[in-house]
Structures are given as structure tokens and as C-alpha cells.
Copies of this chain bind each other. A is one copy, B any other.
Amino acid sequence: MSTDDAEPIKTPLTLKDGVDFAIIEHLFFAYRDFTSDPDAILAEYGFGRAHHRVLHFVNRRPGLTVAELLDVLRITKQSLARVLKQLIDGGYIVQVQGPRDRRQRELYPTEQGRDLALALALPQSRRINAALQEAQLADSAVIERFLRALVNPELRAQMDKLPNGRSEP
């Protein structure tokens, strides 16, 4: 398939090749540093990024069911089970039997869980605010619209189910 003497290409891939590589890289570096602050806090608790995600959405939509959480995270129940169990055992999340459908388990944060979620979000919030200022952006609406537009259209409805979205007037 590949010849024995594959020639090295010495010219860098640039904008001229029809693709904006700078933005692609910026997203990579930005996301990496954006997640680094909560990662450091989580490590103190013996938790990882997966725990953060679960804790975040349970705090953002208290009472959501396991199935709804799986739908938001797009992972399997086996993956969720591991981290959810640890969060429940640690007293960060509690399960309540569904009122109408008793098969369901509604997930709620405890006070402890809320505190941790807030502590994890704080450095991210500060980083975002600093970046908005640095980029001389008065408010975050432009960024939010752009990020939302990056998401697959089918999945955007899901984002609207979360509080303080742009859906209400």
C-alpha cells in the first residue's frame, strides 16, 4: 500500500489548504485548559471528569431520571453506574423513587453535592469571565450562539431543557 520510501513533506498545513487550522487548535487548547481547574479539585476527592459531568447535570436538573441523564451524557448505563455509585456512596447525590413511575430513580444533589458542583464551576466561570474581558466582549451571547451552533441540530433541544437558556423571553 504505502511505498517503501515515503517522502517526508516539509511544508506546514495552513489556511491556504482551505481549512482554518488555527481555530481547530484553539478549541483543543482552550478545552484542555478549561477542564484543568476542576480536574485538579476532583483529584483531591479521588474523582475524575466523569464524576464532574454527572454532578453537574444532576445539579442543573435536579430530579432527572437515570435514563434522562444517560441521554444527556451519551454514555452507557454501565459507565454511568460506576461513577454514580461513588457519588451516592460519598453523599453527593441521593436517589428518590419516581412518584408516578416507581421504577424510575430521580437523582438529586445533597447540600454537599451542590457545594462541590459550585466549587468545580467557580474556576471555570472565572476563566470564562476573564477571557470575555480579555477578548473585549461585553457579554457572552456571541460566544454562546457560536458554541450552540457547533452542536448537532438534533441535540440542541436537549440544551434548552437546562435552566437559563435562551429559549424563554
Interfacial residues, chain A to chain B (CB-CB below 8 A):
1-3, 6-15, 17-34, 36, 53, 56, 59-63, 74, 90-91, 94, 96, 108-114, 117-118, 121-122, 124-125, 127-132, 134-137, 140, 142-152, 155, 159, 162-165
**Given A111-B6, A163-B14 in contact, is the A125-B20 Cβ separation under 8 Å?**
yes
List the B side residues contacting A142 at CB < 8 Å. 135, 137, 142
List the B side residues contacting A164 at CB < 8 Å. 14-15, 21-22
List the B side residues contacting A22 at CB < 8 Å. 144, 162, 164-165
Interface pair B112/A127, CB less than 8 Å apart:
no
List the B side residues contacting A137 at CB < 8 Å. 142, 146
Q: Report the bound CA distance from A23 to B60 in whole Å.
A: 13
Which of A12, A33, A163, A164 neighbours the largest number of chain B CB atoms within 10 Å of its CB?
Answer: A12
Interface pair A23/B146, CB less than 8 Å apart:
no
List the B side residues contacting A32 at CB < 8 Å. 74
**Given A33-B151, A125-B18 in contact, is the A144-B112 Cβ separation under 8 Å?**
no
Q: Report the bound CA distance from A1 to B31 in whole Å.
A: 34
State the Cβ distance, A33 to closest chain B Cβ, in Å: 5
- Closest-by-CB residue of B relative to A133 is B149
State the Cβ distance, A127 to closest chain B Cβ, in Å: 6
Identify A128's interface contact among B23, B33, B128, CB under 8 A: B23
List the B side residues contacting A134 at CB < 8 Å. 145, 149
